[in-house]
Amino acid sequence: MIGRSPLRALVLGAVLLTTPALAGPGHERGPDRDPAETVEKLQEHVGLDDATAQQVVTIMEAAHASGRALRVEGRELKDSMKALMDAEDWEGAEAVFLQIQDLKAEAHAAREAARAEVDALLTVEQRMKLRMAMHERRQHHRGHHARNGGRSESSTRF
């Protein structure tokens, strides 16, 4: 069984594709983490060869760029919706709200597509090791988030 610290590093490869959390330099998480650092952990714990690791880096870098752009757009829409609500333009605010929902669905689809691309590169054994680690990570966070208001780390927030 994978220990807690290696589990965190391993799962971050998948979590990076699903978590919009921002972090500072160092051992950051989220979209600002260097994909190569995550892939190193995946190489170590899942057993990626160098060629596969490079393909994963390419996929993750593209996913990061796309995710950043969607988050910027989402924040702009959220600000616009707040302004419309402050002006009591409820119909305009609702229209922007629906745009935000569409953007969240687009972000989710993009994360799933990137995850599927990575899965296609892995062997069955590697996929299962990754899935098990992700499951354990989710179980750990469920307990943590239940204690902290139930907020899910995997939810898309703008």
Residues 103 and 69: their CA atoms lie apart, in Å, by: 11
* Residue 57 falls inside a structural domain: yes
Distance CA 1, CA 141 (A): 18
Which H/E stretch holds residue 80? helix 50-86
What's 16's DSSP letter?
T
Over residues 143-151, mean pLDDT: 57
Query: What does the alpha-carbon distance between residue 56 and residue 64 come to, in Å, rounded to a whole number?
Result: 12
Instruction: Indicate the pTM of the whole model.
Output: 0.61
Q: Count the domains in the chain.
A: 1
The residue behind tokens 């296609």 is: 120
Let me know if residue 157 belongs to a domain.
no
Q: List pLDDT tens digits, range 80-127.
A: 999 999 999 999 999 999 999 999 999 999 999 999 999 999 999 988
Q: Indicate whether 156 belongs to any domain.
A: no
In a domain, 50, yes or no: yes
In a domain, 45, yes or no: yes
Q: Which domain holds residue 45?
A: 4-147
Q: What angle do CA 59, 102, 119 make, to 5 degrees?
A: 25
